[in-house]
Structure 1
Amino acid sequence: MKKANSLVLGLCLLAAFSCTKDQDEASDLLTENVEVNLQDSDAFLTIEEINALINQSFYEKQSFSWSEVPANVLWSATVHGGNVLTIGYGEKGESFRTEKNDRLDATRLGLVDLVQSSEQIAKKDFRVKEDEVLNVVDLEVTKLETIRELLASDGVRYLEPNGYSYYDITTPQGAKPAPTQTRSAGCDTSGSTLNSADYRSIWPGALVPWTFDRHNIASAWGRSRGAGITIGIIDTGLSPNQPLLGNSFGDGASINGRTVEKYGTYIDSAWWWSNNLDGPNDRCGHGTSMAGVAAGPRNNDGLPSGVAYDANLVMYRGTSDVVLNDYHERKGVSNALRALADRSDVDIISMSIGYPWSIGNVRDAVRYAYSRGKLIFAAGGTSTSATNWYPVIFPASMPEAIAVTGVTDWSGGYRECDICHDGNEIEFTIVMERDSNDDRTTPVIGFNQGQRDYVGGSSVATATMAGVAAMVWSKYPNWSRQQVLNRLRQSSELYSNTSSKYGYGNIDAYQAVQ
């Protein structure tokens, strides 16, 4: 089972993270009474000491990387994380291979032999996982000397304690914990009663969310509805209790015969070497909401429509929730990216998930998917006001990903939603929250049949942008990824004068499909 972690979905940091706060407040987040020491030694660090080092890095540099810590910190985190160490091998930037490479094979075998010899483990008892495409290998490491030998070896791109899942997004000392934001960005399957001002009815009985009209999405449906385009979503899966994302995917005015597929790459196990996949079904609710926003049918059931309601959908359950703080979630997302990258029918990948800092095997997989021509959207970050000094989250922080965040419906210009992050990596914004009431966000189909719900944060903003991109690509099916992206940029409010916090700003879907 996934380790308990106070990085709770209430903080929902990750469905999607990042804002800024005065540094004096951020400094309060450093763990009290823990001496921070970045000098290499033989000392084994406690979880509290490791977290203090991480917090200090965020406070001083707005970032953290395992590549910047000494060997004993890597060793301590590896042991705390179930003894699993991920090695990225090859030359700098050599994230993946597309054909057999004897040099890379030799490098991998040499590193595996080094670890086995240093750990003094018999071959039959040695646990190792290799990847056929990504230049990544996971091994069991228990000794500090093994870490030091690896750091001194050629062909090592990075070492990461990929099982370390104890980092805690802490509230400032003395501050009251912020209220949970489960409806905004985390797990929620309960449904909501929608305010009648938050939607309007449209033939043949579907609802148009109020946020869609802020981006002229319904007006754009006269020109494109996403037909012929396949959106891949990596999230918490699809609910088996929501037929509009199953057998009734072609309901109402949507194309009868468009396809929805769901797969699972997540493993729910305490053992990192387990191969027991947990299936494609959503147990959280987040993935169901994202799929509904991006491509839910324009139904005749009195429920909210999706943006690209004629597009095809492929959902991968790569994670149990929105926070990639577990080895199996990171591996599950990496494997899902690989699978979507290899599908020629998938044009767009949407990820309303992430983590405060870069994860090597996920980063390598994003680069692989990008190399295969995929247009990748990722959530810029959703947390609470107590943690909004963190930067734009990973993988939205990558240049290969298009970072999206949410803004409020405010007449005075641009203002991030109460729990959304902004920053210079953000490219697009979506209005997804009432200025007067942060509980009234985007209406979506719910987890269960006939159910309605609200969903917000940069999560829903990302899924919305993925749907708009599908409409553009459907309108111009022969365009390249760059041409589609250029049209999205040109159709956004701040195109001629981009913002350092909001990028190109709010998209106009009708203009994008002209």
Structure 2
Amino acid sequence: MKTSLLVVACLLLLSCRKISSTYVISVPDPSSEIPKADINKFVHEQLVQHNYFDWKMAGDTMVWSALIQADSVLSIGYQPEGFADLPAKIHTIDVKSAVWQEARTKVLAMVMANEGSAAIVFKEGVLPVINLKISHFATLKALRGSSLIRYAEPIGYGAYMDDLAVSDVQASSDILASGCGYNTPKTDLVAGADYTTLLPGAKASWNYGYHHIAEAWAKSSGQNVKVMLIDTGISDTQENLGLAFNQGYSSGRTIQKQVTISGGTVNDPCGHGTSMAGVIAAPRGTDGNAIGIAYNSNLLAVHAADNVVILSSAAINGVTNAYILGADDPAVKIISMSMGTIFSSGQIKDALNYAFNKQKLMFCAAGTSTPFFASFIGVIFPANQPQVVAITGIKDNLTERCADCHVGDKVDFVIVMEKTSTGRSPLSTAMSGDIPSTVGGSSVATASCSAIAALVWSKYPAYSRDSIMSRLVRSSSNAYNRSSKFGWGVINADAAVGS
């Protein structure tokens, strides 16, 4: 995916001024960059030791090496001199105000002093962060040594760490197409074993019984609650997530489709977003398709990335902007994202704090092992962040994690989503047609938990986010003995909704 550079208008003004010599650092570029293999080894070591990776763990030479061997886009989080406790205040600041503009101008001057010019990649929003193309080591060193800078990260390195060029979702690499291409109709589904047919003619997934979904439906179906899904979009050929969103027992609700990834459309090029949307809010209709857990909820689906691994600069910005979009929509109560990465991102953390401070209840996938997410990794980013609720999946024996699901002490809840005997995953909505698909991993667990939360919030519309979380915790299998692997355990939706 190619991203055009937007030349910063204010640079025309800066170029007419004399750049302060204090911004110029006479440091030559290293004689050679650190090879990707060594960078990757360092990342691996930090993940094993700390269970997360942040670019602040790496030295200047390594960060610069990662930057110039990727797309050269540096994510720069800034703040005014002496500003304190930004995470708690980030939803209240105005980056257009004089004090924040002054800090931003100093950052740009610092870059220009060492680069000679500067251009912003991706449009700026409400967060104090700039994405710039950087090529010189001196620039990076100056930025990382400045008290104005909160972080300076090569956000696109993940897409290049295995000598892969970012193109599109059809890339042959398993990494660049991770989680895609599997959302197809399942013609071997068995009635009574894989689903139950319910009025007026829709299929309830086999795993709903473990969470007492049918009993909860007698009291709530998610009406008047808006759930935001951050994912790969929705297929424009799936009517149940389009013109037939209201049918059967699902009525009077809305579905919205937005795009925040540069160059994208609302259509799903992957299939993952369509399946997650189906799990959350597919209608309880008449056409024989799968029922979403919150089948009367409103849905806002955002195409923020082109696969489930947040790798590229475009995807990181897409996810960042999606959280801001959801945070600024007062009707959005719940944000669900079944995507992640091994690299912590400062600007996504900023967006999480922004949304959290606006009282959004956010669910994220703990991780599903792929060639990119090796088995040694615990809960991935951003599910490992304190602002979000981390979800993973377990088998129907209620004791084992799903074959590829990540677990750890950051997990908050689990969803039953894999049959021990057959490996069957829960039902969802295929890219087109009325024959359900199936979907597994921590992805389906996250979408399911988000939908259960919608059932609860629908029943108690005046409740706060924390009160909804308390009901979820109290209704779970480990409510009084939190597990180091499975958190609060299996949610009983009926008990959470209450009488």
* Structure 2 equivalent of residue 153 of structure 1: 146
Aligned mate of 1:306, from 278, 288, 292? 292
Aligned mate of 1:419, from 404, 409, 415? 404
The question of 1:249 aligning with 2:238 is answered: no
1:334/1:365 contact within 8 Å kept: yes
Aligned mate of 1:78, from 67, 73, 83? 67
The question of 1:191 aligning with 2:185 is answered: yes
The question of 1:390 aligning with 2:377 is answered: yes
* Structure 2 equivalent of residue 354 of structure 1: 340
Q: Distance in 2 between matches of 1:166 and 1:234?
A: 23
* Structure 1 equivalent of residue 267 of structure 2: 281
- Cα deviations by residue, 1:411-452 (Å, 9 ceiling, x for unpaired): xx42100000100011100000001122x1101121112231
Deviation at 1:304, TM superposition (A): 1.1
Which secondary structure state, in structure 2, belongs to the residue aligned with residue 325 of structure 1?
coil
Q: How does 1:84-95 map to 2 (within 5 A)?
A: 84-90=73-79, 91=83, 93-95=85-87
Deviation at 1:383, TM superposition (A): 0.7
* Structure 1: gaps of 5 or more residues: 4-39, 170-179, 268-276
The question of 1:292 aligning with 2:288 is answered: no
1:234/1:315 contact within 8 Å kept: yes
Deviation at 1:283, TM superposition (A): 1.2
Q: Distance in 2 between matches of 1:338 and 1:483?
A: 23
* Structure 1 equivalent of residue 56 of structure 2: 67
Q: Distance in 2 between matches of 1:506 and 1:246?
A: 32
Amino acid paired to 1:323: V
The question of 1:137 aligning with 2:130 is answered: yes
Which secondary structure state, in structure 1, belongs to the residue aligned with residue 126 of structure 2?
coil
Q: How does 1:8-23 map to 2 (within 5 A)?
A: none
The question of 1:315 aligning with 2:338 is answered: no
Q: Distance in 2 between matches of 1:73 and 1:252?
A: 57
Q: Distance in 1 between matches of 2:258 and 2:402?
A: 32
* Structure 2 equivalent of residue 334 of structure 1: 320
1:232/1:313 contact within 8 Å kept: yes
Deviation at 1:348, TM superposition (A): 0.3
The question of 1:481 aligning with 2:465 is answered: yes
2:70/2:161 contact within 8 Å kept: no
Q: Distance in 2 between matches of 1:234 and 1:2?
A: 22
Cα 1:404/1:195, change in 2 over 3 Å? same
* Structure 2 equivalent of residue 111 of structure 1: 107
Amino acid paired to 2:133: E
Name the count of aligned residue pairs. 452
Amino acid paired to 1:259: T
Deviation at 1:98, TM superposition (A): 3.0
2:476/2:491 contact within 8 Å kept: yes
Deviation at 1:59, TM superposition (A): 2.8
* Structure 2: gaps of 5 or more residues: 4-28, 164-173
1:408/1:432 contact within 8 Å kept: yes
Q: TM-score, normalised by structure 2?
A: 0.87
1:183/1:454 contact within 8 Å kept: no
* Structure 2 equivalent of residue 56 of structure 1: 45
The question of 1:261 aligning with 2:250 is answered: no
Amino acid paired to 2:407: D
1:407/1:414 contact within 8 Å kept: yes
Higher mean displacement: 151-160 or 100-109: 100-109
Q: Distance in 2 between matches of 1:168 and 1:128?
A: 23
Cα 1:205/1:259, change in 2 over 3 Å? same
2:379/2:406 contact within 8 Å kept: yes
Deviation at 1:148, TM superposition (A): 0.9
1:107/1:155 contact within 8 Å kept: yes
Which secondary structure state, in structure 2, belongs to the residue aligned with residue 247 of structure 1?
coil
Amino acid paired to 2:211: H
Which secondary structure state, in structure 1, belongs to the residue aligned with residue 363 of structure 2?
strand
Cα 1:423/1:399, change in 2 over 3 Å? same
2:202/2:288 contact within 8 Å kept: yes
Cα 1:426/1:168, change in 2 over 3 Å? farther
Q: How does 1:30-45 map to 2 (within 5 A)?
A: 43-45=32-34
Deviation at 1:128, TM superposition (A): 5.1
Q: Distance in 2 between matches of 1:2 and 1:130?
A: 15
* Structure 1 equivalent of residue 160 of structure 2: 166
Amino acid paired to 1:423: G
Aligned mate of 2:477, from 493, 503, 506? 493
Q: Distance in 2 between matches of 1:130 and 1:206?
A: 43
The question of 1:370 aligning with 2:356 is answered: yes
1:185/1:459 contact within 8 Å kept: no
Deviation at 1:281, TM superposition (A): 0.5
Aligned mate of 1:224, from 217, 220, 228? 220
Amino acid paired to 1:62: N
Higher mean displacement: 288-297 or 54-63: 54-63
* Structure 2 equivalent of residue 200 of structure 1: 196
Deviation at 1:67, TM superposition (A): 0.6
- Cα deviations by residue, 1:138-191 (Å, 9 ceiling, x for unpaired): 11110001111112211111110012123359xxxxxxxxxx999995442332
Deviation at 1:44, TM superposition (A): 1.1
2:232/2:269 contact within 8 Å kept: yes
Amino acid paired to 2:200: P
* Structure 2 equivalent of residue 506 of structure 1: 490
Deviation at 1:234, TM superposition (A): 0.3
Amino acid paired to 1:46: P
1:183/1:455 contact within 8 Å kept: no
Deviation at 1:131, TM superposition (A): 2.7
Deviation at 1:42, TM superposition (A): 5.1
Q: Distance in 1 between matches of 2:341 and 2:178?
A: 17
Which secondary structure state, in structure 1, belongs to the residue aligned with residue 257 of structure 2?
strand
Amino acid paired to 2:151: Y
Q: Distance in 2 between matches of 1:184 and 1:46?
A: 25
Amino acid paired to 2:129: V
1:130/1:136 contact within 8 Å kept: no
Q: Distance in 2 between matches of 1:228 and 1:42?
A: 60
Aligned mate of 2:388, from 389, 401, 413? 401
Q: Distance in 1 between matches of 2:310 and 2:291?
A: 29
